[in-house]
Amino acid sequence: MSTVEASSQRLSSNVSAPSGSALRAALVSEWTKLRSVRSTVWALLLTSAFTIGLSALFCWAFVNRDERRRDGSLRDLFLFDPTARSLRGVVLAQLAIGVLGVLVMSSEYTTGMIRTSMAAVPSRRVLLAAKTIVLTTVSLVVGMVSAFVAFFLGQAILDGKGLGTSLGEPSVLRAVLGAGLYLTLIPMFGLALGTIVRRTPGAIATLFGVVLILPLLADAFPEPWDVRLGRLSPLNAGQAFFSVRYDPDLLTPTEGLLVFLGWVVAAYIVAIVMLTKRDA
């Protein structure tokens, strides 16, 4: 076709090889990838909607509960953790943002894009690092903003019955930050799983299994192992650092954070080994 001949001069226009760092170029590229597909926007919107909307709903339901039908209402109030109540949506939001993490890698394998990506960025560590940094930055912003909005909205609702708390109370700020951090780390875990499993359905099933089913499996062990193992699951470890009230079944906040980081680091080690050893 004539297009080829007509554009001959343009094709040969010298595109000189740039000198910048490969990681920096890959970061810009991964940001374009993330923002140019619709699933990203949906996953982030759902994350915020679940964190804020569901938390508000839980608070509203607690404020409007029928006290006459609950004998334990006093005990309820005694154990009531207004911070945790206003962050309950995180349990569902983690699935949305975790799926986003999975998709960042698995969608490349499922569509075949990975071969094009790896031909453009031959260092697989650089590729994984760029994806991780971009995903984590976006998750940190969305996770933190959602957690704080959910907290303030929830407290505003609870304040209607004088049940709310504030960031100035002991451990409250830590818990809200913890919830935002949890929503930042879960997608990293998802990204690592997506790298290991490669296919989207399998990787999502693995993520849900580890996050939701592992704590249930722990119950199958005889006491005291059910509790000892159960609290090591990612969700329970996470809950240890985003709840305020002391729960003897959970780890301390610091332990919880360390255990959760342990899960992420372990998944990353496996992911890096598999990514560099396997054929694309």
Contacting residues toward other proteins, per CB under 8 A: 1, 3-5, 7-8, 10-15, 17-18, 20, 22, 25-26, 28-30, 32-33, 36-39, 107-108, 111-123, 279-280
Least spacing, CB of residue 183 vs other proteins, in Å: 24
Decide whether 39 or 166 has the Cβ nearer to other proteins. 39
Question: For residues 128 and 235, what is the distance between their CA atoms, to the nearest angstrom?
Answer: 25
HEC string of 141-193 equals HHHHHHHHHHHHHHHHHHHCCCCCCCCCCCCHHHHHHHHHHHHHHHHHHHHHH
Decide whether 121 or 271 has the Cβ nearer to other proteins. 121
Least spacing, CB of residue 199 vs other proteins, in Å: 15
Least spacing, CB of residue 201 vs other proteins, in Å: 17
Decide whether 7 or 252 has the Cβ nearer to other proteins. 7
Question: For residues 257 and 260, what is the distance between their CA atoms, to the nearest angstrom?
Answer: 5
Least spacing, CB of residue 64 vs other proteins, in Å: 42
Question: For residues 184 and 139, what is the distance between their CA atoms, to the nearest angstrom?
Answer: 5
Which residue, 158, 177, 189, is CA-closest to 267? 189
| Contact in structure between 190 and 101 (CB atoms under 8 Å) | yes
Decide whether 132 or 243 has the Cβ nearer to other proteins. 132
Decide whether 22 or 63 has the Cβ nearer to other proteins. 22
**Which tokens sit at 263?**
């899960």
Side-chain-side CA neighbours of residue 57 (13 Å): 9
**Which tokens sit at 124?**
């697989």
Decide whether 36 or 66 has the Cβ nearer to other proteins. 36
Least spacing, CB of residue 109 vs other proteins, in Å: 11
Which residue, 49, 38, 39, is CA-closest to 90? 49
Least spacing, CB of residue 180 vs other proteins, in Å: 28
